[in-house]
Structure 1
């Protein structure tokens, strides 16, 4: 009789996180739930020794090193963790890929508050008709700056974290401020 290996708690949490992130980015604007309330599940699910990562939050460094990620400057990073974003300046440095290599763009993770604040309307691939939601905790002009930086197929993908709740906003998503 064949037996299958028993998954560790870390593997179960990483798989749960990966599924939540996959659903969040494939269904923009629809909140998903991670197994814990910070960036650690994102790091554990997506990063390994082949990934370049930047963190504006030094508290994340031990976890980035634990998974073997290469620590890099923001303009070279595949994964950018900005924590509580207070300025729009870092967005100008994030990799947006190129017309030939759009896959060289970064995935940016930012803390925000979901369910309060500025009203947004999302549309585009993965969105059934449109999704409206409220987001706060981002600098004034964030969504306009994001829209200005998107030049399909170039751009960056965005993960918004509010505790254990996560929302994905891929570069293909059109965001309109209400």
Structure 2
């Protein structure tokens, strides 16, 4: 009789991280718990040698390189990892996909402070009516810039990470500052 191999600790962690990320995108505004704190586990989970990655942090860059990923400027990256998003106009540099390939839009992962800061109302698919959240640690004007840049189905996905908590904002979610 052949026994199924047991999942390694790494496999278990990356599977749990992936599940948290997908739930975060499918239910915008609902904070999910990650197995560990920080952005590194998300690199382990999402990045492989078929990805073009932009990281502004040296340690995250080294980790992404271990996966075999290609480093790319923001305009050409599939996935971007920022420990701090300093300027709202950075969003204008992200790949948005095309009419034929909207899935080619980027995924931006950055840190923020969840549960503090300005009140926001989220609406769109996955939000029952509207969801209110508080997000701080992002540049002034980010939500206005995001609204100007996104042209659904074109756009990008956004994951906001605060220690071991993550909030997902798909391109289909509208954000209103209250």
Q: After TM superposition, is the score higher than 0.5?
A: yes
SS at match of 2:6: coil
Give me the whole-angstrom Cα distance separating, in 1, the residues matched to 2:127 and 2:88.
Answer: 26
Query: 1:45: Cα distance to partner?
Result: 1.1
Aligned to 1:104: 104
Alignment of 1:167 onto 2:167? yes
Give me the whole-angstrom Cα distance separating, in 1, the residues matched to 2:153 and 2:160.
Answer: 21
Aligned to 1:44: 44
Aligned to 2:177: 177
Deviation readout 1:42-61 (Å, 9 max, x if unpaired): 11111111011001122201
Give me the whole-angstrom Cα distance separating, in 1, the residues matched to 2:7 and 2:62.
Answer: 24
Deviation readout 1:108-130 (Å, 9 max, x if unpaired): 01110000101001111111111
SS at match of 1:61: helix
Aligned to 1:82: 82
Give me the whole-angstrom Cα distance separating, in 1, the residues matched to 2:12 and 2:61.
Answer: 23
Within 5 Å, give how 1:1-178 maps onto structure 2: 1-178=1-178
Give me the whole-angstrom Cα distance separating, in 2, the residues matched to 1:2 and 1:127.
Answer: 45
Give me the whole-angstrom Cα distance separating, in 1, the residues matched to 2:138 and 2:104.
Answer: 25
What are structure 2's unaligned runs of at least 5 residues? none
Deviation readout 1:67-114 (Å, 9 max, x if unpaired): 221111111100011221111232111101112211110000111000
What are structure 1's unaligned runs of at least 5 residues? none
